[in-house]
Amino acid sequence: MLEIRNLSLTLEGEKGSVEILEDINLTLQDHKLYVFTGPNGGGKSSLAKVIMGIYRPTGGKIILDGEDITALGVTERSRLGIGYAFQQPPRFKGLKVRELIQIAAGNKPIEGCSCLADVGLCPEDYLDRDVDSSLSGGELKRIEIATLLARSLKVAIYDEPEAGIDLWSFSRLRETFQELHNKYETTIVLISHQERILSLADEIVLIAGGTIREQGSRDDMWPVIMDKSCGGRKICPGAGDENVECFR
Amino acid sequence: MLNALDKRLLETVADLHDIPQGAYNIRKNGEGISRRSTANIEIKPKRDKPGIDIIVRPGTMGESVHIPVILTAEGLKDAVYNTFDIGEGADILVVAGCGIHNPGESETQHNGIHNFIIRKRARLRYVEKHYGQGEGGGQKTLNPTTIIEMEEGAYAEMELVQIRGVDNTKRITKARLHRNAHLLVTERMLTHGEQKAESKILVKLAGEDSSAQIVSRSVAQDNSQQLFYPRVAGYNRCRAHVQCDSIIMHQAKVRSVPEIAANHADAQLVHEAAIGKIAGEQLIKLMTLGLSESEAEETILQGFLK
């Protein structure tokens, strides 16, 4: 179980400090699948990065299975079983897919690991490819997801896993998340706007303006999300179109 | 004949654990100490200057030649001229490499001048590793010059690696390619401390449909300095790609000056060069997989220089 208490995050930007997250309180249970959703720039990825230890919170606490991990760095949190799949994963010149997945798997042998197949990539074709610009955005993204699938995690966070992935691989990916959820105790967090991802959720957390606006079961949250003004989203009066957001 | 230090140097620069299979010539402290020719590969000392001629008979397939050089004394200046004649249609591996163990305070230097003639349709894979070590403050200097003439349809892969511990290096590589010849040069360089490294490559694409690829990757650490000057000139319908990538760390300095020159309208030449630190995202990604920051850095550098 992961508990987030009174968490806030302020980052230094070009125009001075910006408050990114404000007084977040959230409990993520074992064996539950959460979807974080909400408008762009609302703080979803920042919250994930604070959980992973990439950003240090300005205030508040993060507690994993009763242990305060707020002061721990990325490496320590990873070793405790927290994983984060990047929205835009980096490329590595000279590092092979096999090597990256082996690092993720630790001491476990990766032969027979289904993590590539689970994201729709044939291991024979991909294990010896370099994780560099020879991979397309969608391939890279699926390999990124595979690096989390190769691990045994307590909390696994996937940041917009569907981004850049084709229709067919997407169906496979969705099944993979469903299967993971059925088989393991892992707390799964998917950051997404996709209806077909949202429909996997046990609980949906709506994050906007750096706070949790609403949280509840999928069925309770569905009408909230379908409301175009959810998350404090203002519809642009000038455009005369409810799909255009107003920032004034 | 080979002591423990010699063996360690040989292992580092030529992956040799003992006397190699096939043809070889081992040079230690300015003298050839062991040599073997085979039925297809003849190695003979030059008469007019230090060095050897390596003559590979046409059609020789799958054989290898090892010609490592080791220097284990201080204050030594060794210059050697080696000529390789790779016969028509042959396909061979040449493993060169130089290891210096400088135990003292005065400079030890090795200048290796290699001349290759790669005959029609012959294929060559050439691996050269340079490495230095030693307790004293004596400089370890390696200045290799490699000159390659590639006849019609010849193919060569040149892997030029400087591993660690070389204080000064001036590397010159020149190649001329005739019709349908293909050359791949991969250069890997790591400098640290106060080291200085310079690499100049000039490839002339003289023949129709010749092509060349130069892939240079380097890591500059501490106060070291690197200069790269890879040049390709096209004189016919030809293709070339020059790629220079450097990771810069600490107070190091890197200058990278790729040049492409087309003297024919059907010459297609491309160059790219990049210098930068290890991307923070790369470090963080590997740390999210459980590596410490220094393990992540090591993994990135090892992959990059592989």
Q: What is the pLDDT of residue B1?
A: 64
Indicate if ipTM > 0.90. Answer: yes
Task: Name every residue in B having a CB less than 8 A away from some CB of A.
Answer: 217, 245, 279, 281-282, 284-293, 299-300, 302-306
CA distance B71 to B131: 11
CA distance B46 to B306: 35
Q: How far is A103 from chain B (nearest CA, A)?
A: 7
B304 contacts A93? CB cut-off 8 A: yes
Q: Which of B217, B288, B305 sits opposite A78 (nearest CB)?
A: B288
Tens digit of pLDDT per residue, chain B (306 long)? 678 888 888 888 877 777 778 899 999 998 888 999 999 999 999 999 999 999 999 999 999 999 999 989 888 898 999 999 999 999 999 999 888 888 888 899 999 999 999 999 999 999 999 988 887 788 999 999 999 999 999 999 999 999 888 999 999 999 999 999 999 999 999 999 999 999 999 999 999 999 999 999 999 999 999 999 999 999 999 999 999 999 999 999 999 999 999 999 999 999 999 999 999 999 999 999 999 999 999 999 999 998
Contacts of B77 (CB under 8 A, 6+ apart): B107, B108, B109, B111
- Chain B residues whose CB is inside 8 A of the A92 CB are 282, 300, 303
Give me the CATH number covering residue A212.
3.40.50.300
- Chain A residues whose CB is inside 8 A of the B292 CB are 75
- Chain A residues whose CB is inside 8 A of the B284 CB are 54, 74
Instruction: List the single best residue of A49, A52, A72, A75 to mutate versus B (max B Cβ within 10 A).
Output: A75
Residue of B nearest to A96 (CA): B303
CA distance A100 to A138: 17
Give the residue extent of every domain in chain B: 4-278
Instruction: List the single best residue of B284, B288, B306 to mutate versus A (max A Cβ within 10 A).
Output: B288
Number of domains in chain A: 1
pLDDT-above-90 percentage for chain B: 79
Q: Which of A84, A90, A103 sits opposite B299 (nearest CB)?
A: A103
Q: Which of A73, A90, A94 sits opposite B285 (nearest CB)?
A: A90
What pLDDT digit, counting tens, does each position of A95-119 carry? 999 999 999 999 888 887 889 988 9
Give the predicted TM-score (pTM) of the model. 0.86
Domain hosting residue A179, numbered range: 2-246
